[in-house]
Structure 1
Amino acid sequence: MYSMFPERCSVRKEGKDCQMPPEFVISVKSNDGEYMVGVTCDGHKMAFTKKLESLQQEGKVPQGTINFAGLKPVGTSCIKVDPNDLIQL
């Protein structure tokens, strides 16, 4: 199964990447749109919030509401194609 999201939490602590899978997409909702800023596991949710608030105060991240949306895994069976059904271009 392929994913458009990173396989792991976006947090790096003491030079080491978190090895937990992401559980939330983090975004900032501002007056001019919503910006995805990363993914996090439940254990780093508060740390990520504090860091985003600090970056907002520094003007590096747009002002707005920090939003956490839960990720829901979706699976599908492999789709097999008969080579005779393909169209040659």
Structure 2
Amino acid sequence: MFPERCSIREKGRDCPMPPEFAISVKSNDGEYMVGVTCDRHKAAFTEKLTLLQKDGKVPQGTINFTGLKPVGTSCIKVDPDELIQL
């Protein structure tokens, strides 16, 4: 399961947009998922991850964005009040 919203926080407020991409770092040791983002915040996430890599807080490697697609099934029952309107 992924979060319902983009992982970016601007000016103390969470981004209200749903995630469009899973973000991972591919290194020699493996691939590490670091968050999810909307299309609007891809560049901001890339900048932040690059800085974290320089500081040694995130493994060195290629930053990868994988598109997410919504999937629905009939086996999961959802309360209509919990649905997010886009």
TM over 0.5: same fold?
yes
TM-score with structure 2 setting the length? 0.86
Match of 1:10 among 7, 12, 23: 7
Structure 1 residues without counterparts, runs of 5 or longer: 81-89
Q: Distance in 1 between matches of 2:65 and 2:51?
A: 17
Amino acid at match of 1:64: G
Alignment of 1:1-89 (within 5 A): 4-78=1-75
Structure 2 residues without counterparts, runs of 5 or longer: 78-86
Identity over aligned pairs, percent: 82
After superposition, the Cα gap between the structure-2 partners of 1:79 and 1:6, relative to the gap in structure 1 and judged at 3 Å, is: closer
Q: Distance in 1 between matches of 2:71 and 2:38?
A: 18
1:83 maps to what in 2?
A: none
